[in-house]
Structure 1
Amino acid sequence: MIRILTRAHLTALEQAAENARNRADEVQDAADAAASCHVRSVRRLSAALATARDDAADHQHDAEIVREILEHTEDQLAEARTTAAEQAEQIKTLRADLAAMGGAVVLLRYGRLVSVHPDVPAAKHHAQALGASTDGWCPPTGPVAESAWRICPLATWMVRDEASEAGAA
Structure 2
Amino acid sequence: MIRIVTRAHLAALEQAVESAQDRIDEVQDAADAAASCHTRSVQRLSTTLAAARAAADGHQADAGIVRELLALTEGELADARATVAEQAEQIKALRADLDAACGTVVLLRYGRLVSAHPDVATAKRHAQSLGAAADGWCPPTEPVSESPWRVVSLSSFVVQDGGGAG
* 1:8 and 2:8 are equivalent in the alignment: yes
TM (norm. structure 1) is 0.60
Query: Using the alignment, how far apart are the partners of 1:61 and 1:68 within structure 2?
Result: 11
Q: Deviations over 1:65-117 (max 9, x none)?
A: 1121122112111111111011101110121122224457xxxxxxxxxxxxx
Q: 1:59 — aligned with what?
A: 59
Q: Deviations over 1:40-77 (max 9, x none)?
A: 11101110111111111111111111121122112111
Query: Using the alignment, how far apart are the partners of 1:50 and 1:59 within structure 2?
Result: 14
Q: 1:91 — aligned with what?
A: 91
In the alignment, residue 74 of structure 2 is paired with which amino acid? E
Q: 1:36 — aligned with what?
A: 36
In the alignment, residue 98 of structure 1 is paired with which amino acid? L
TM (norm. structure 2) is 0.61
Deviation at 1:6, TM superposition (A): 1.0
Q: Which 5+ residue runs of structure 1 have no aligned equivalent?
A: 105-118, 120-138, 143-154, 164-169
Query: Using the alignment, how far apart are the partners of 2:51 and 2:97 within structure 1?
Result: 67
Query: Using the alignment, how far apart are the partners of 2:13 and 2:68 within structure 1?
Result: 80
Runs of 4+ in 1 over 2 A off after TM superposition: 100-104, 139-142
Q: 2:80 — aligned with what?
A: 80
In the alignment, residue 43 of structure 2 is paired with which amino acid? R
Q: What is the RMSD computed on CA atoms of the aligned residues?
A: 2.8
Identity of aligned residues (%): 65
* 1:49 and 2:35 are equivalent in the alignment: no
Query: Using the alignment, how far apart are the partners of 1:91 and 1:80 within structure 2?
Result: 16
Describe how 1:145-160 pairs up with structure 2 within 5 A: none
In the alignment, residue 42 of structure 1 is paired with which amino acid? V
Name the SS of the counterpart of 1:13 in structure 2: helix
